[in-house]
């Protein structure tokens, strides 16, 4: 954060002031498969004696998977209760990270501060992350705040936007995929997840900014985004698109267009659907 104003910086806004807006959103799977792990721990390797085709056949018939001692024979997709979901925090992180990468008014980019052996070369080639500063905020010393932190929050500053879990609408889109000796539970092409974004006192520019982070470029056909496991390794994984299914009768696409026009010189664009 900086203590003097630039064209990108805005005044701090109180966290609970203003109108509440709820937007219904849909996430559609464009690639053949999508996997978001329930458990990020190291993945098990299964014995070659296992008959994967038989496991798959039994799963499709019964909806159940065999077990091998205390080791599950599948890396499960994320669930909340009985619902297969894309977690709200995953959605929020994906949208915020796009704004940090593509909007020069953002103050911070976690992958732009020096090289890292843990960062995919394909990620670097797609996004070309820039070196940025710190996202720490102190209300007593900072008069201004970057637009992204002002909406999404940061250390010492609450978020003004809430992302609910996006729930899978059709359980027949659940399948399995074997990769390098590990079996993954996946959702398949054309699967859809639905949920909501709840905004607290966001103005039109801020709503437009959130939509830009979701892939809006001014039309109802949002851009393809990468999400989940194997997105930088396999072309048949991790391609999704957002769309708006309800916006409380607000002209949301107009907000997106106006945001793009106002901040055009500070915006970058990339094609995530790599070949």
C-beta of residue 3 within 8 angstroms of C-beta of residue 141? yes
- pLDDT of amino acid 70: 45
Mean pLDDT of the chain: 84
> What domain range is 131 assigned to?
10-35+86-173+189-266
Q: Compute CA 181 distance to the chain's CA centroid, rounded to the nearest angstrom.
A: 27
Kindly tell me the sign of the dihedral angle through the C-alpha atoms of 201, 269, 128, 125: positive
Taking the alpha carbons at both ends of the chain, their separation in whole angstroms is 37
C-beta of residue 160 within 8 angstroms of C-beta of residue 150? yes
Query: Is the model's pTM score more than 0.85?
Result: no
Specify the residue for token string 């609910």.
164
* Structural domain contains residue 145: yes
Residues 121, 128: Cα–Cα separation, whole Å: 10
Residues 149, 147: Cα–Cα separation, whole Å: 6
* Structural domain contains residue 183: no
For the chain, which residues score pLDDT lower than 50?
1-4, 42, 70-71, 112-115, 137, 141
Q: Which tens digit of pLDDT belongs to each residue from 259-273?
A: 999 999 999 999 999
Nearest to 164 by CA among 222, 94, 92: 92
* Structural domain contains residue 106: yes
- pLDDT of amino acid 52: 65
Residues 23, 244: Cα–Cα separation, whole Å: 7
* Structural domain contains residue 182: no
Q: How many domains does the chain have?
A: 1
* Structural domain contains residue 62: no
Residues 134, 266: Cα–Cα separation, whole Å: 19
Specify the residue for token string 């005044």.
11
* Structural domain contains residue 208: yes
Q: Which tens digit of pLDDT belongs to each residue from 61-120?
A: 776 666 655 445 688 999 999 999 999 999 999 999 999 999 999 987 655 444 455 678
* Structural domain contains residue 53: no
* Structural domain contains residue 77: no
Residues 133, 109: Cα–Cα separation, whole Å: 8
Nearest to 78 by CA among 193, 190, 180: 193
3-class secondary structure, 54: helix
- pLDDT of amino acid 74: 82
Alpha carbon distances (Å) from 136 to 29, 102, 103, 209: 35, 20, 18, 21
């Amino acid at each position: 954060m900086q203590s003097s104003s630039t064209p990108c910086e805005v005044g701090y806004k109180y966290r609970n002031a203003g109108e509440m807006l709820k937007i219904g959103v849909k996430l559609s799977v464009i690639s053949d498969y999508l996997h978001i792990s329930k458990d990020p721990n190291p993945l098990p390797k299964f014995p070659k004696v296992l008959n994967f085709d038989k496991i798959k056949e039994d799963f499709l018939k019964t909806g159940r998977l065999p077990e091998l001692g205390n080791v599950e024979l599948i890396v499960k997709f994320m669930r909340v209760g009985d619902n297969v979901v894309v977690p709200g925090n995953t959605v929020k992180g994906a949208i915020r990270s796009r704004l940090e990468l593509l909007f020069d008014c953002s103050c911070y980019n976690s992958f732009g501060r020096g090289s890292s052996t843990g960062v995919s070369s394909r990620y670097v080639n797609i996004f070309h992350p820039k070196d940025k500063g710190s996202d720490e905020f102190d209300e007593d010393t900072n008069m201004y705040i970057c637009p992204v932190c002002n909406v999404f929050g940061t250390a010492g500053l609450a978020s003004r936007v809430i992302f609910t879990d996006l729930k899978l609408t059709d359980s027949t889109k659940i399948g399995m995929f074997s990769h390098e000796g590990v079996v993954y539970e996946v959702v398949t092409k054309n699967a859809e997840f639905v949920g909501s974004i709840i905004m607290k006192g966001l103005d039109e520019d801020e709503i437009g900014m959130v939509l830009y982070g979701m892939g809006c470029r001014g039309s109802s056909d949002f851009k393809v985004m990468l999400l989940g496991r194997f997105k930088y390794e396999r072309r048949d994984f991790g391609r999704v698109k957002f769309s708006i299914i309800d916006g409380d009768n607000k002209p949301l696409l107009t907000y997106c267009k106006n945001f793009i026009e106002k901040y055009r010189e500070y915006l970058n664009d990339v094609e995530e659907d790599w070949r």
